[in-house]
Amino acid sequence: MRRHRNLKIVATLGPSSSDYDTIRALFEAGADVFRLNMSHGSHDDVAARHEIIRQVEKDTGRPIAILADLQGPKLRVGAFANGPHQLEVGQAFRLDLDPAPGDATRVCLPHKEIFDALEPGARLLVNDGKVVLKVTRCAGDFAETEVLVAGEISDRKGVNVPDVVLPLAALSDKDRADLEFVCTLGVEWLALSFVQRAADVHEARELAGNRAAIMSKIEKPAAVQAYEEILAASDGIMVARGDLGVELPVQKVPPIQKRLVRGARREAKPVIVATQMLESMISSPMPTRAEVSDVAAAIYEGADAVMLSAESAAGDFPVEAVTTMNNVAIEVESDPTYRQIIEASRPGARSTVADGIVSAAREIAETTTGIKAICCFSESGTTVSKVSREKPRVPIIALTSRLGTARKLCLTWGAHCVMATEISRFKMAVVAAARAARTEGFATEADQILVVAGVPFNQAGSTNILRVAPCEEKLIFSTEPG
């Protein structure tokens, strides 16, 4: 099964998409990666969906990536004695550690870490910013505030604290248990919530080891400020625009999105643009024009993937939402302006032999007639990621003997993953690449391919060889070594 686009699509599973028929239909409609949201459902639910994904993978013969999204710490106010209360602008309101039910003047905020970090002037956003409070006086067990934005406050509404770095780890006790569970189950990617600093990523990596790649969700102002350090520590990035739009003025989110996408591309790390992309399709079979333009904008920016959340997890039209994303991607990528934008934004820095090899491969492919694909042999996926960063005009065929690598690369722009036997000689790599290009429908015997690999084989980071090869069934080699 070959996708006729380079962009990858991530679909979240949930109540609307938990059975085999729906999950397979989502895959056939265009989903390349399935997201398991650890904020919802039990471990049994997660295990059941994981098993179905692996069955779809087996039945279709195509690798599928699974992304487990950890919940992160949830900051919430306590309960109220007499139901919701309407707060008015200018009103005084107190937050404290007293567990007694709240009223119109105060409520419990059972997170001492917040009080330890607060300073006068800091804002607290309640219920996704529908109520905004400004701290006027605070200590280690309370905060007196003034209401800046009026609204209703009620039981256990979420609290965002955008103006300070909270002394909270990105991983709660629940997250640690979930991380161990999904790594034992077998997932390719872990999405890490509440990231504020690179140390949060290091902690997750220490727990996950080599069992899963770490994707940092950029959803807090502190993470935007520390982006370069977080990017260096991460295997991938998710632009989580929903929380960013709560904690920052909404007009700041689009330029931040562009900067995050470009930074990830520069470092050859996959980047997902997420949240509210086709929100209206939760209840409508047709998206709004603005939503389609939003998806298209992420594609023009060079994102590796776009993500559906509630649209595919809890919506009435999950398959239609994936189909819409697939169609938008095909249309955008066929636009000549898309190639102009992508090529104008191509990172220019070249610092290693591998960088030079993949850059040369892209240039040869684009300036030589008859070359139909760039075939990359990669055990870790690094070579494929570097070729993907170039955004070549010809398809990328990623050949690997490791199923985990093939699955992980399902999130990488343009990568069509093919399982191959372990290779020990470059001549056999060329034969395997030509066979894959023909079998997968990318080339005929009359065409040529580019083969990129590292010698000696089966060593990560050894990309050092490039060859133009015919796609003939019987390849004739010269007598040079290797």
Q: Which of these ranges, 138-142, 147-151, 317-321, 452-456, has the smallest mean pLDDT?
A: 452-456
Tell me which of 140, 160, 180 is where a domain ends: 160
Q: Would you tell me how many other CB atoms lie within 10 Å of the CB of residue 397?
A: 28
- The verdict on whether 474 is a catalytic residue reads no
Distance CA 257, CA 443 (A): 36
Q: Report pLDDT digits (tens) over 417-454.
A: 999 988 878 888 899 999 999 999 999 999 999 999 88
Measured at the alpha carbon of residue 350, what is the angle toward residues 344 and 351, in degrees to the nearest 5? 160
In a domain? residue 481: no
DSSP string, 97-113: S--SPB-SSEEE---HH
Q: Which domain holds residue 426?
A: 353-470
Does residue 333 share a domain with residue 210?
A: yes
pLDDT of residue 385: 96
Q: Any idea what the CATH number is for the domain that residue 105 is in?
A: 2.40.33.10
Q: What mean pLDDT is predicted for residues 228-240?
A: 98
Extended beta strands in 6-130, E state: 8-13, 33-37, 65-69, 85-87, 92-96, 106-108, 123-126
Distance CA 61, CA 66 (A): 16
The confidence band for 1, taking pLDDT boundaries of 50, 70 and 90, is confident
pLDDT of residue 349: 65
Q: Are strands 213-218 and 271-274 parallel, antiparallel or unpaired?
A: unpaired
Long-range contacts of 444-447 (CB under 8 A, 24+ apart): 444/471, 445/470, 445/471, 445/472, 445/473, 446/370, 446/471, 447/370, 447/371, 447/372, 447/471
Query: Is residue 356 helix, strand or coil?
Result: helix
If you average pLDDT over every residue of the chain, what do you get?
94
pLDDT at 104 over 90: yes
- The verdict on whether 76 is a catalytic residue reads yes
Of 3, 24, 54, 76, the catalytic one is 76
Question: In 3D, which of 208, 74, 193, 94 has the Cα closest to residue 147?
Answer: 94
H/E stretch holding 279 reads: none
The confidence band for 463, taking pLDDT boundaries of 50, 70 and 90, is confident
pLDDT of residue 479: 39
Q: Which tokens is 351 given?
A: 């610092």
Of 5, 8, 35, 241, the catalytic one is 35
Distance CA 349, CA 196 (A): 28
Does residue 248 share a domain with residue 397?
A: no
The confidence band for 31, taking pLDDT boundaries of 50, 70 and 90, is very high
Q: Any idea what the CATH number is for the domain that residue 288 is in?
A: 3.20.20.60
Q: What mean pLDDT is predicted for residues 384-399?
A: 96
- Higher per-residue confidence, 82 vs 1: 82
In a domain? residue 348: no
pLDDT at 481 over 60: no
- The verdict on whether 425 is a catalytic residue reads no
Does residue 174 share a domain with residue 37?
A: yes
Q: What mean pLDDT is predicted for residues 450-478?
A: 78
Does residue 194 share a domain with residue 331?
A: yes
Q: Any idea what the CATH number is for the domain that residue 363 is in?
A: 3.40.1380.20
pLDDT of residue 474: 65
pLDDT at 478 over 90: no
Q: What mean pLDDT is predicted for residues 203-228?
A: 97
Q: Which tokens is 384 given?
A: 């494929």
Does residue 375 share a domain with residue 439?
A: yes
Distance CA 453, CA 357 (A): 9
In a domain? residue 80: no
pLDDT of residue 414: 98
Distance CA 47, CA 183 (A): 11
Give the number of domains in the chain.
3
Of 123, 197, 265, 275, the catalytic one is 275
Does residue 403 share a domain with residue 262?
A: no
Distance CA 265, CA 262 (A): 5
pLDDT at 475 over 70: no
Edge-to-edge order in the sheet of strand 131-139: 106-108, 92-96, 142-149, 131-139, 123-126, 159-160
Q: Report pLDDT digits (tens) over 141-188.
A: 999 999 999 999 999 999 999 999 998 889 999 999 999 999 999 999
Does residue 199 share a domain with residue 56?
A: yes
Does residue 362 share a domain with residue 303?
A: no
In a domain? residue 98: yes
Name residues whose C-beta falls within 8 Å of residue 431's C-beta, 6 or more positions apart in sequence: 475
Does residue 290 share a domain with residue 238?
A: yes
Of 157, 217, 362, 408, the catalytic one is 217
The confidence band for 330, taking pLDDT boundaries of 50, 70 and 90, is very high
Tell me which of 284, 314, 343 is where a domain ends: 343
Q: Is 257 exposed, middle or buried (0-12, 13-18, 19+ CB in 10 A)?
A: buried
Does residue 300 share a domain with residue 196?
A: yes
Does residue 357 share a domain with residue 337?
A: no
- The verdict on whether 137 is a catalytic residue reads no
